[in-house]
Structure 1
Amino acid sequence: MMDIQPVSETALIIQLGDHIDTRLAVKTGSLADHIRNSCSSELIEVIPSYTTIYIQYHPLKTDFIALKSRLQGLVDAFFLSDDKNDRARKVSKIITLPVYYSLETGPDLPEVAQFHNRTVADVIQIHSQSTYVVCAIGFSPGFAFLGSVDSAIATPRKSEPRKMLPAGSVGIADQQTAVYPSDSPGGWQIIGNCPVSLIDFDKAPMSPFSVGLSVQFQPISRDEFFALGGTLWSHWKSWTRG
Protein backbone atom coordinates (compact mmCIF):
# COMPACT_ATOMS: atom_id res chain seq x y z
CA MET A 1 0.00 0.00 0.00
CA MET A 2 1.41 3.39 -1.04
CA ASP A 3 -0.44 6.65 -1.46
CA ILE A 4 0.65 10.28 -1.74
CA GLN A 5 -1.81 13.00 -0.79
CA PRO A 6 -1.55 16.78 -0.24
CA VAL A 7 -2.12 18.10 3.29
CA SER A 8 -1.61 21.82 2.55
CA GLU A 9 -0.39 24.10 -0.23
CA THR A 10 3.21 23.26 0.60
CA ALA A 11 3.06 19.84 2.21
CA LEU A 12 2.15 16.26 1.39
CA ILE A 13 2.09 12.90 3.13
CA ILE A 14 3.22 9.50 1.89
CA GLN A 15 1.16 6.64 3.31
CA LEU A 16 3.10 3.38 3.35
CA GLY A 17 0.86 1.11 5.41
CA ASP A 18 -2.24 0.89 7.58
CA HIS A 19 -0.94 -0.78 10.74
CA ILE A 20 2.09 -0.45 13.04
CA ASP A 21 4.93 -2.80 12.13
CA THR A 22 8.52 -2.40 13.32
CA ARG A 23 9.78 -3.78 10.00
CA LEU A 24 7.89 -1.04 8.19
CA ALA A 25 9.34 1.55 10.59
CA VAL A 26 12.85 0.52 9.52
CA LYS A 27 11.88 0.91 5.87
CA THR A 28 10.17 4.24 6.56
CA GLY A 29 13.26 5.66 8.24
CA SER A 30 15.52 4.52 5.42
CA LEU A 31 13.16 5.86 2.77
CA ALA A 32 13.00 9.24 4.51
CA ASP A 33 16.81 9.44 4.40
CA HIS A 34 16.75 8.50 0.72
CA ILE A 35 14.21 11.22 -0.06
CA ARG A 36 16.22 13.85 1.84
CA ASN A 37 19.35 12.97 -0.11
CA SER A 38 17.60 12.83 -3.47
CA CYS A 39 15.47 15.98 -3.23
CA SER A 40 17.36 18.15 -0.75
CA SER A 41 17.09 21.39 -2.75
CA GLU A 42 13.30 21.18 -3.00
CA LEU A 43 12.41 20.12 0.52
CA ILE A 44 12.11 21.99 3.80
CA GLU A 45 11.33 19.10 6.13
CA VAL A 46 10.95 15.32 5.96
CA ILE A 47 9.34 13.68 9.01
CA PRO A 48 8.90 9.88 9.09
CA SER A 49 6.51 8.20 11.52
CA TYR A 50 4.91 4.79 12.08
CA THR A 51 3.50 4.31 8.57
CA THR A 52 3.85 7.73 6.97
CA ILE A 53 6.34 10.36 5.81
CA TYR A 54 5.31 14.02 6.04
CA ILE A 55 7.07 16.32 3.59
CA GLN A 56 7.08 20.10 3.46
CA TYR A 57 8.48 21.57 0.24
CA HIS A 58 9.57 24.91 -1.26
CA PRO A 59 6.61 26.24 -3.29
CA LEU A 60 8.92 28.23 -5.58
CA LYS A 61 11.02 25.17 -6.43
CA THR A 62 8.36 22.54 -7.03
CA ASP A 63 4.64 21.82 -6.74
CA PHE A 64 2.54 18.91 -5.59
CA ILE A 65 2.07 17.32 -9.02
CA ALA A 66 5.76 17.45 -9.96
CA LEU A 67 6.96 16.31 -6.54
CA LYS A 68 4.41 13.51 -6.34
CA SER A 69 5.59 12.15 -9.67
CA ARG A 70 9.23 12.27 -8.55
CA LEU A 71 8.47 10.69 -5.18
CA GLN A 72 6.51 7.85 -6.75
CA GLY A 73 9.57 6.96 -8.81
CA LEU A 74 11.86 7.17 -5.76
CA VAL A 75 9.56 5.03 -3.62
CA ASP A 76 9.12 2.38 -6.31
CA ALA A 77 12.87 2.16 -6.91
CA PHE A 78 13.57 2.05 -3.20
CA PHE A 79 11.29 -0.92 -2.54
CA LEU A 80 12.71 -2.73 -5.55
CA SER A 81 16.26 -2.44 -4.19
CA ASP A 82 16.00 -5.76 -2.32
CA ASP A 83 15.80 -3.99 1.09
CA LYS A 84 19.58 -3.36 1.18
CA ASN A 85 19.20 0.14 2.60
CA ASP A 86 17.04 -0.70 5.60
CA ARG A 87 18.96 -3.93 6.36
CA ALA A 88 22.22 -2.00 6.55
CA ARG A 89 20.62 0.72 8.67
CA LYS A 90 19.18 -1.76 11.17
CA VAL A 91 22.46 -3.66 11.59
CA SER A 92 24.80 -0.68 11.86
CA LYS A 93 22.69 1.66 13.99
CA ILE A 94 22.00 0.26 17.45
CA ILE A 95 21.76 2.60 20.44
CA THR A 96 22.44 1.01 23.84
CA LEU A 97 21.03 2.88 26.83
CA PRO A 98 21.95 2.16 30.46
CA VAL A 99 18.96 1.79 32.78
CA TYR A 100 18.76 1.50 36.56
CA TYR A 101 15.70 -0.69 37.07
CA SER A 102 14.61 -0.34 40.70
CA LEU A 103 11.73 0.68 42.93
CA GLU A 104 13.65 3.93 43.52
CA THR A 105 13.51 4.85 39.85
CA GLY A 106 10.69 2.60 38.63
CA PRO A 107 7.73 3.04 40.97
CA ASP A 108 5.42 1.12 38.62
CA LEU A 109 7.52 -2.05 38.47
CA PRO A 110 5.26 -3.80 41.04
CA GLU A 111 2.12 -2.75 39.16
CA VAL A 112 3.44 -4.08 35.84
CA ALA A 113 4.55 -7.32 37.50
CA GLN A 114 1.21 -7.79 39.24
CA PHE A 115 -0.73 -7.05 36.04
CA HIS A 116 0.98 -10.04 34.38
CA ASN A 117 1.27 -12.24 37.48
CA ARG A 118 5.05 -12.05 37.24
CA THR A 119 7.91 -10.93 39.46
CA VAL A 120 9.69 -7.58 39.25
CA ALA A 121 12.81 -9.48 38.19
CA ASP A 122 10.83 -11.00 35.30
CA VAL A 123 9.75 -7.56 34.10
CA ILE A 124 13.31 -6.23 34.18
CA GLN A 125 14.71 -9.26 32.38
CA ILE A 126 12.08 -9.27 29.63
CA HIS A 127 12.27 -5.52 29.03
CA SER A 128 16.07 -5.42 28.87
CA GLN A 129 16.49 -8.48 26.66
CA SER A 130 14.48 -7.10 23.75
CA THR A 131 15.69 -4.98 20.85
CA TYR A 132 13.33 -2.12 19.99
CA VAL A 133 12.85 -0.02 16.88
CA VAL A 134 12.23 3.74 16.84
CA CYS A 135 8.79 3.98 15.25
CA ALA A 136 8.14 7.71 15.70
CA ILE A 137 9.45 10.80 17.45
CA GLY A 138 7.04 13.22 19.09
CA PHE A 139 5.14 14.28 22.21
CA SER A 140 8.22 16.27 23.28
CA PRO A 141 11.62 16.94 21.65
CA GLY A 142 13.67 13.76 21.55
CA PHE A 143 10.86 11.49 22.78
CA ALA A 144 11.18 8.26 20.77
CA PHE A 145 8.32 5.77 20.61
CA LEU A 146 9.91 2.31 20.64
CA GLY A 147 8.29 -0.94 19.61
CA SER A 148 7.44 -3.56 20.27
CA VAL A 149 7.21 -4.49 23.95
CA ASP A 150 6.93 -8.21 24.63
CA SER A 151 3.28 -9.14 25.29
CA ALA A 152 4.45 -10.73 28.56
CA ILE A 153 4.97 -7.22 30.03
CA ALA A 154 2.96 -4.92 27.70
CA THR A 155 0.81 -2.89 30.11
CA PRO A 156 -1.77 -0.13 29.54
CA ARG A 157 -0.78 3.38 30.50
CA LYS A 158 -1.92 4.73 33.84
CA SER A 159 -5.55 5.88 34.14
CA GLU A 160 -4.34 9.20 35.57
CA PRO A 161 -1.06 10.72 34.31
CA ARG A 162 1.50 12.04 36.74
CA LYS A 163 1.93 15.79 36.75
CA MET A 164 5.68 15.42 36.37
CA LEU A 165 8.28 12.73 35.66
CA PRO A 166 12.05 13.13 35.94
CA ALA A 167 14.19 13.14 32.80
CA GLY A 168 15.39 9.65 31.97
CA SER A 169 12.23 7.88 33.14
CA VAL A 170 11.78 4.63 31.21
CA GLY A 171 8.14 3.75 30.65
CA ILE A 172 5.79 1.22 29.09
CA ALA A 173 2.45 1.99 27.46
CA ASP A 174 0.81 -1.05 25.88
CA GLN A 175 3.25 -2.39 23.27
CA GLN A 176 5.46 0.69 23.28
CA THR A 177 8.32 1.76 25.51
CA ALA A 178 10.20 5.07 25.72
CA VAL A 179 12.59 7.25 27.68
CA TYR A 180 11.38 10.69 28.73
CA PRO A 181 14.28 12.93 27.59
CA SER A 182 13.34 15.81 29.89
CA ASP A 183 11.19 16.50 32.95
CA SER A 184 7.64 16.10 31.72
CA PRO A 185 4.08 15.10 32.60
CA GLY A 186 3.42 11.50 31.65
CA GLY A 187 1.05 8.60 31.98
CA TRP A 188 3.30 5.67 31.12
CA GLN A 189 4.19 2.89 33.55
CA ILE A 190 7.64 3.89 34.87
CA ILE A 191 10.02 0.97 35.41
CA GLY A 192 13.47 2.57 35.61
CA ASN A 193 15.67 5.53 34.74
CA CYS A 194 18.34 6.17 32.11
CA PRO A 195 20.99 8.58 33.47
CA VAL A 196 22.33 9.49 30.00
CA SER A 197 21.13 12.82 28.57
CA LEU A 198 19.08 12.24 25.42
CA ILE A 199 18.42 15.82 24.35
CA ASP A 200 20.81 18.71 23.70
CA PHE A 201 19.33 21.75 21.99
CA ASP A 202 22.81 23.09 21.21
CA LYS A 203 23.76 20.08 19.07
CA ALA A 204 22.73 18.97 15.61
CA PRO A 205 21.10 16.56 15.69
CA MET A 206 19.79 17.35 19.15
CA SER A 207 18.76 13.72 19.80
CA PRO A 208 20.42 10.38 18.98
CA PHE A 209 17.12 8.92 17.77
CA SER A 210 15.69 8.70 14.28
CA VAL A 211 12.91 6.52 12.90
CA GLY A 212 14.12 3.03 12.03
CA LEU A 213 17.07 2.86 14.41
CA SER A 214 17.36 0.02 16.93
CA VAL A 215 17.55 0.53 20.70
CA GLN A 216 18.63 -1.81 23.47
CA PHE A 217 18.50 -1.29 27.24
CA GLN A 218 21.39 -2.34 29.47
CA PRO A 219 20.63 -2.88 33.18
CA ILE A 220 23.08 -1.10 35.49
CA SER A 221 23.62 -1.08 39.23
CA ARG A 222 22.79 1.70 41.66
CA ASP A 223 26.45 2.71 41.88
CA GLU A 224 26.77 2.79 38.08
CA PHE A 225 23.63 4.91 37.90
CA PHE A 226 25.12 7.55 40.19
CA ALA A 227 28.50 7.39 38.44
CA LEU A 228 26.77 8.23 35.15
CA GLY A 229 25.12 11.28 36.73
CA GLY A 230 21.81 9.77 37.74
CA THR A 231 19.72 11.32 40.50
CA LEU A 232 16.77 9.98 42.50
CA TRP A 233 13.32 11.50 42.90
CA SER A 234 12.14 10.54 46.38
CA HIS A 235 8.58 11.89 46.29
CA TRP A 236 6.85 9.97 43.51
CA LYS A 237 3.44 10.05 45.22
CA SER A 238 3.44 13.84 45.26
CA TRP A 239 3.64 13.91 41.45
CA THR A 240 0.38 12.04 40.90
CA ARG A 241 -2.14 14.68 41.90
CA GLY A 242 -2.03 18.39 42.47
Structure 2
Amino acid sequence: MPTTEGECGFTIEPLGETLLILHFGERIDIALNARVHEAVATLHAAALPGVVDLVPAYATLGLVYEPMIWSQGDGPPWRNLAGAVRAVFASPPGHALPAAAMIQIPVRYGGEDGPDLAAVAAHCGLAEAEVIARHTAAGYTVAMLGFAPGFPYLLGLDPALHTPRRANPRTQVPRGSVAIGGAQTGVYPCALPGGWQLIGRTPLTLFDSARQPPCLCAPGDRVSFRAIGDEEFAELLRGSA
Protein backbone atom coordinates (compact mmCIF):
# COMPACT_ATOMS: atom_id res chain seq x y z
CA MET A 1 0.00 0.00 0.00
CA PRO A 2 1.19 3.57 -0.61
CA THR A 3 2.68 5.40 2.35
CA THR A 4 1.61 8.97 2.98
CA GLU A 5 4.46 11.46 2.88
CA GLY A 6 2.74 14.54 4.32
CA GLU A 7 4.80 17.65 3.58
CA CYS A 8 6.56 15.99 0.65
CA GLY A 9 3.32 16.24 -1.32
CA PHE A 10 3.32 12.70 -2.66
CA THR A 11 2.83 9.11 -1.58
CA ILE A 12 5.27 6.25 -2.16
CA GLU A 13 4.36 2.77 -3.33
CA PRO A 14 6.60 -0.21 -4.14
CA LEU A 15 5.85 -2.00 -7.37
CA GLY A 16 7.72 -5.28 -7.61
CA GLU A 17 11.30 -5.53 -6.39
CA THR A 18 12.95 -2.86 -8.56
CA LEU A 19 10.41 -0.03 -8.96
CA LEU A 20 9.25 2.67 -6.56
CA ILE A 21 6.33 4.89 -7.55
CA LEU A 22 5.82 8.44 -6.28
CA HIS A 23 2.15 9.48 -6.56
CA PHE A 24 1.59 13.24 -6.82
CA GLY A 25 -2.13 13.11 -7.66
CA GLU A 26 -4.78 11.39 -9.73
CA ARG A 27 -5.65 13.80 -12.53
CA ILE A 28 -4.29 15.03 -15.85
CA ASP A 29 -3.25 18.59 -15.13
CA ILE A 30 -0.41 20.78 -16.44
CA ALA A 31 0.50 22.18 -13.00
CA LEU A 32 0.51 18.71 -11.43
CA ASN A 33 2.62 17.33 -14.26
CA ALA A 34 5.08 20.21 -13.77
CA ARG A 35 5.56 19.04 -10.16
CA VAL A 36 6.48 15.61 -11.48
CA HIS A 37 9.15 17.10 -13.76
CA GLU A 38 10.48 19.27 -10.93
CA ALA A 39 10.82 16.10 -8.85
CA VAL A 40 12.80 14.50 -11.68
CA ALA A 41 15.25 17.42 -11.60
CA THR A 42 15.54 17.20 -7.81
CA LEU A 43 16.28 13.48 -7.86
CA HIS A 44 18.75 13.87 -10.72
CA ALA A 45 20.62 16.42 -8.61
CA ALA A 46 20.50 14.14 -5.56
CA ALA A 47 22.06 11.24 -7.53
CA LEU A 48 20.86 8.56 -5.12
CA PRO A 49 22.97 5.40 -5.48
CA GLY A 50 21.40 2.47 -7.25
CA VAL A 51 18.68 4.55 -8.96
CA VAL A 52 19.16 3.63 -12.60
CA ASP A 53 16.20 5.43 -14.23
CA LEU A 54 13.51 8.01 -13.55
CA VAL A 55 10.25 7.56 -15.46
CA PRO A 56 7.82 10.50 -15.29
CA ALA A 57 4.13 10.14 -16.16
CA TYR A 58 1.13 12.48 -15.82
CA ALA A 59 0.97 12.43 -12.03
CA THR A 60 3.48 9.79 -10.99
CA LEU A 61 7.22 9.27 -11.08
CA GLY A 62 8.81 5.84 -11.27
CA LEU A 63 12.25 5.15 -9.76
CA VAL A 64 13.92 2.07 -11.21
CA TYR A 65 16.54 0.90 -8.73
CA GLU A 66 18.94 -1.90 -7.85
CA PRO A 67 17.57 -3.56 -4.68
CA MET A 68 20.96 -4.88 -3.54
CA ILE A 69 22.19 -1.30 -3.13
CA TRP A 70 19.36 -0.64 -0.67
CA SER A 71 19.30 -4.01 1.10
CA GLN A 72 21.22 -2.78 4.16
CA GLY A 73 19.12 -1.87 7.19
CA ASP A 74 16.12 -3.21 9.05
CA GLY A 75 13.48 -2.83 6.37
CA PRO A 76 13.06 -4.08 2.80
CA PRO A 77 15.06 -2.29 0.08
CA TRP A 78 12.10 -0.27 -1.14
CA ARG A 79 11.47 1.16 2.32
CA ASN A 80 15.13 2.12 2.73
CA LEU A 81 15.05 3.90 -0.63
CA ALA A 82 11.75 5.56 0.28
CA GLY A 83 13.39 6.97 3.39
CA ALA A 84 16.24 8.37 1.31
CA VAL A 85 13.75 9.93 -1.11
CA ARG A 86 11.89 11.57 1.76
CA ALA A 87 15.17 12.98 3.04
CA VAL A 88 15.99 14.43 -0.39
CA PHE A 89 12.72 16.34 -0.56
CA ALA A 90 12.93 17.42 3.09
CA SER A 91 16.22 19.14 2.25
CA PRO A 92 16.46 19.41 -1.56
CA PRO A 93 19.91 19.76 -3.14
CA GLY A 94 20.61 23.06 -4.84
CA HIS A 95 19.92 22.77 -8.55
CA ALA A 96 18.50 24.68 -11.47
CA LEU A 97 15.68 23.27 -13.54
CA PRO A 98 17.02 22.41 -17.00
CA ALA A 99 15.76 24.61 -19.81
CA ALA A 100 13.01 22.87 -21.75
CA ALA A 101 13.89 22.00 -25.33
CA MET A 102 11.72 23.74 -27.93
CA ILE A 103 10.58 21.42 -30.73
CA GLN A 104 8.58 22.50 -33.76
CA ILE A 105 6.72 19.76 -35.62
CA PRO A 106 5.66 20.45 -39.22
CA VAL A 107 2.29 18.94 -40.14
CA ARG A 108 0.38 18.41 -43.36
CA TYR A 109 -3.22 18.70 -42.16
CA GLY A 110 -6.32 17.07 -43.63
CA GLY A 111 -6.73 14.94 -46.72
CA GLU A 112 -5.44 11.39 -46.55
CA ASP A 113 -3.10 12.41 -43.70
CA GLY A 114 -5.95 13.77 -41.57
CA PRO A 115 -9.03 11.67 -42.32
CA ASP A 116 -10.74 12.74 -39.08
CA LEU A 117 -10.22 16.49 -39.49
CA ALA A 118 -13.77 16.98 -40.79
CA ALA A 119 -15.21 14.95 -37.90
CA VAL A 120 -13.24 16.98 -35.36
CA ALA A 121 -14.40 20.22 -36.98
CA ALA A 122 -18.01 19.07 -36.91
CA HIS A 123 -17.79 17.96 -33.28
CA CYS A 124 -16.26 21.30 -32.25
CA GLY A 125 -18.57 23.43 -34.40
CA LEU A 126 -15.63 24.95 -36.25
CA ALA A 127 -14.42 25.18 -39.82
CA GLU A 128 -11.55 22.85 -40.68
CA ALA A 129 -9.26 25.85 -41.20
CA GLU A 130 -10.10 27.06 -37.68
CA VAL A 131 -9.24 23.66 -36.21
CA ILE A 132 -5.84 23.87 -37.91
CA ALA A 133 -5.33 27.46 -36.78
CA ARG A 134 -6.13 26.63 -33.16
CA HIS A 135 -4.01 23.46 -33.18
CA THR A 136 -0.96 25.36 -34.47
CA ALA A 137 -1.51 28.41 -32.24
CA ALA A 138 -1.23 26.51 -28.95
CA GLY A 139 1.96 25.70 -27.08
CA TYR A 140 2.29 22.18 -25.70
CA THR A 141 4.25 20.38 -23.00
CA VAL A 142 5.39 16.76 -23.29
CA ALA A 143 3.71 15.33 -20.20
CA MET A 144 5.21 11.90 -20.73
CA LEU A 145 6.21 9.29 -23.28
CA GLY A 146 4.14 6.12 -23.43
CA PHE A 147 2.01 3.68 -25.39
CA ALA A 148 4.90 3.14 -27.83
CA PRO A 149 8.57 4.26 -27.86
CA GLY A 150 8.67 7.98 -28.59
CA PHE A 151 4.91 8.64 -28.41
CA PRO A 152 4.55 12.10 -26.79
CA TYR A 153 1.43 12.80 -24.76
CA LEU A 154 1.02 16.57 -25.13
CA LEU A 155 -0.84 18.85 -22.74
CA GLY A 156 -2.01 22.31 -23.79
CA LEU A 157 -4.66 21.55 -26.40
CA ASP A 158 -7.15 24.38 -26.92
CA PRO A 159 -10.33 23.35 -25.01
CA ALA A 160 -12.34 24.18 -28.14
CA LEU A 161 -10.62 21.22 -29.85
CA HIS A 162 -11.30 18.58 -27.19
CA THR A 163 -12.78 15.62 -29.07
CA PRO A 164 -13.54 12.09 -27.84
CA ARG A 165 -11.57 9.18 -29.22
CA ARG A 166 -13.06 7.21 -32.08
CA ALA A 167 -15.73 4.67 -31.19
CA ASN A 168 -13.95 2.15 -33.42
CA PRO A 169 -10.13 2.29 -33.26
CA ARG A 170 -8.13 1.72 -36.42
CA THR A 171 -6.04 -1.42 -36.67
CA GLN A 172 -3.18 0.62 -38.16
CA VAL A 173 -2.40 4.32 -37.98
CA PRO A 174 0.37 5.62 -40.28
CA ARG A 175 3.70 6.69 -38.80
CA GLY A 176 3.82 10.39 -38.01
CA SER A 177 0.06 10.82 -37.68
CA VAL A 178 -0.91 13.81 -35.55
CA ALA A 179 -4.02 13.13 -33.54
CA ILE A 180 -6.43 14.36 -30.89
CA GLY A 181 -7.70 12.13 -28.10
CA GLY A 182 -9.96 13.83 -25.58
CA ALA A 183 -8.09 16.80 -24.07
CA GLN A 184 -4.73 15.76 -25.50
CA THR A 185 -2.87 15.71 -28.76
CA GLY A 186 0.00 13.46 -29.79
CA VAL A 187 2.01 11.99 -32.64
CA TYR A 188 2.24 8.32 -33.58
CA PRO A 189 5.98 7.49 -33.86
CA CYS A 190 5.40 4.38 -36.00
CA ALA A 191 2.56 2.48 -37.64
CA LEU A 192 0.34 1.33 -34.78
CA PRO A 193 -3.27 0.56 -33.95
CA GLY A 194 -4.98 3.55 -32.38
CA GLY A 195 -8.26 5.24 -31.61
CA TRP A 196 -7.35 8.92 -31.61
CA GLN A 197 -8.77 11.35 -34.18
CA LEU A 198 -6.25 11.81 -37.03
CA ILE A 199 -5.99 15.43 -38.21
CA GLY A 200 -2.63 15.44 -40.03
CA ARG A 201 0.78 13.89 -40.39
CA THR A 202 4.37 14.96 -39.86
CA PRO A 203 7.32 13.79 -41.97
CA LEU A 204 9.63 13.89 -38.94
CA THR A 205 10.90 10.68 -37.35
CA LEU A 206 9.89 10.69 -33.69
CA PHE A 207 11.72 7.50 -32.73
CA ASP A 208 14.88 6.00 -34.18
CA SER A 209 16.73 3.36 -32.17
CA ALA A 210 19.97 4.22 -34.02
CA ARG A 211 19.75 7.90 -33.05
CA GLN A 212 21.04 9.43 -29.82
CA PRO A 213 18.80 10.15 -28.13
CA PRO A 214 16.37 7.85 -29.96
CA CYS A 215 13.28 9.93 -29.08
CA LEU A 216 12.74 13.31 -30.73
CA CYS A 217 10.75 14.49 -27.71
CA ALA A 218 11.48 14.07 -24.00
CA PRO A 219 9.22 14.62 -20.99
CA GLY A 220 9.14 18.31 -20.13
CA ASP A 221 9.97 19.51 -23.65
CA ARG A 222 7.92 22.26 -25.26
CA VAL A 223 6.27 21.51 -28.61
CA SER A 224 4.57 23.57 -31.29
CA PHE A 225 3.00 22.57 -34.60
CA ARG A 226 3.38 24.29 -37.97
CA ALA A 227 1.16 23.72 -41.00
CA ILE A 228 3.01 22.80 -44.22
CA GLY A 229 2.07 21.96 -47.79
CA ASP A 230 2.77 19.02 -50.06
CA GLU A 231 6.12 20.26 -51.39
CA GLU A 232 7.68 20.89 -47.99
CA PHE A 233 6.24 17.63 -46.66
CA ALA A 234 7.92 15.67 -49.47
CA GLU A 235 11.23 17.48 -48.97
CA LEU A 236 11.25 16.88 -45.21
CA LEU A 237 10.22 13.26 -45.70
CA ARG A 238 13.20 12.68 -48.00
CA GLY A 239 15.49 14.29 -45.43
CA SER A 240 14.25 12.07 -42.60
CA ALA A 241 14.47 8.83 -44.57
Q: TM-score per shorter chain, which class?
A: 0.7 to 0.9
Residues 168-200 of structure 1 show CA distances to partners (whole Å, capped at 9, x for unaligned) of: 000000101000000111111000001011111
Aligned to 1:213: 221
Task: Select the residue among 71, 81, 85 that pairs with 2:85.
Answer: 71
Distance 2:146 2:169 in 1: 17
| 1:128-147 aligned within 5 A | 128-147=136-155
Q: CA RMSD in A?
A: 2.0
> What amino acid does structure 2 have at the position aligned with 1:227?
E
Q: 2:190 aligns with which of 175, 182, 200?
A: 182
**Which consecutive unaligned segments of at least 5 residues does structure 1 have?**
231-242
Q: Partner of 2:207: helix, strand, or coil?
A: coil
* Secondary structure class of the residue paired with 1:126: helix
TM-score in terms of structure 1 length? 0.86
Counterpart AA for 1:110: A
RCO comparison, higher one (Cα < 8 Å, 6+): 1
User: What is the Cα deviation at residue 208 of structure 1?
Assistant: 2.3
Unaligned 5+ runs, structure 2: 1-8, 71-76
Is 2:22 aligned against 1:14?
yes
Matched, 1:60 2:98: no
Normalising by structure 2, we get a TM-score of 0.86
Residue deviations 1:179-224 (CA, integer Å, cap 9, x gap): 0000111111000001011111112321022222211111112211
Taking a change above 3 Å as real, the CA distance of residues 145 and 103 of structure 1, as seen in their structure-2 partners, is: same
- Distance in 2 between residues matched to 1:76 and 1:96, nearest whole Å: 37
State whether residues 51 and 66 of structure 2, in contact with CA within 8 Å, keep that contact through their aligned partners in structure 1: yes
Distance 1:194 1:76, change over 3 A: farther
SS of equivalent to 2:21: strand
Structure 2 CA distance for aligned equivalents of residues 189 and 75 of structure 1: 40
CA distances 1:29-88 after superposition (whole Å, capped 9, x unpaired): 24224324433541132211001111121111112222112211223445x97x952xx5
Which secondary structure state, in structure 2, belongs to the residue aligned with residue 53 of structure 1? strand
What percentage of residue pairs aligned between the two structures are identical? 33
The worse-fitting range, judged by mean Cα deviation, of 191-200 and 141-150 is 141-150
CA contact (8 A) 2:205 2:216 kept: no
